[in-house]
Amino acid sequence: MGEQDDLNTRVAVLETKNLAQEARLNSLEIDVGKKFDRLEAKLDQVLQASRGRPTWIVALAISGLMTIVTGLIVYLVTR
């Protein structure tokens, strides 16, 4: 009987540990879910702010044209 009682005690301990781990996992899942919700909200804000900006191609084209115009103005002034 002593061995059976020892096994029952071990099973009870493992069940208790399992319940504690499940509770901890559920708590972590809730925390991670909240953080993802906040991250999603921040990402939506960033995307909304960037919608009014020009694309990289437009920005590079404007920069290139300004460089050419500045070079031509310097050429005309110094000539």
- Does 32 or 52 have the greater pLDDT score? 32
**What is the average pLDDT score of the chain?**
90
What is the pTM (predicted TM-score) of this model? 0.51
Report the C-alpha gap between 42 and 47 in whole angstroms: 9
Token pair 């993802």 is found at 36
Supply the pLDDT for residue 48: 84
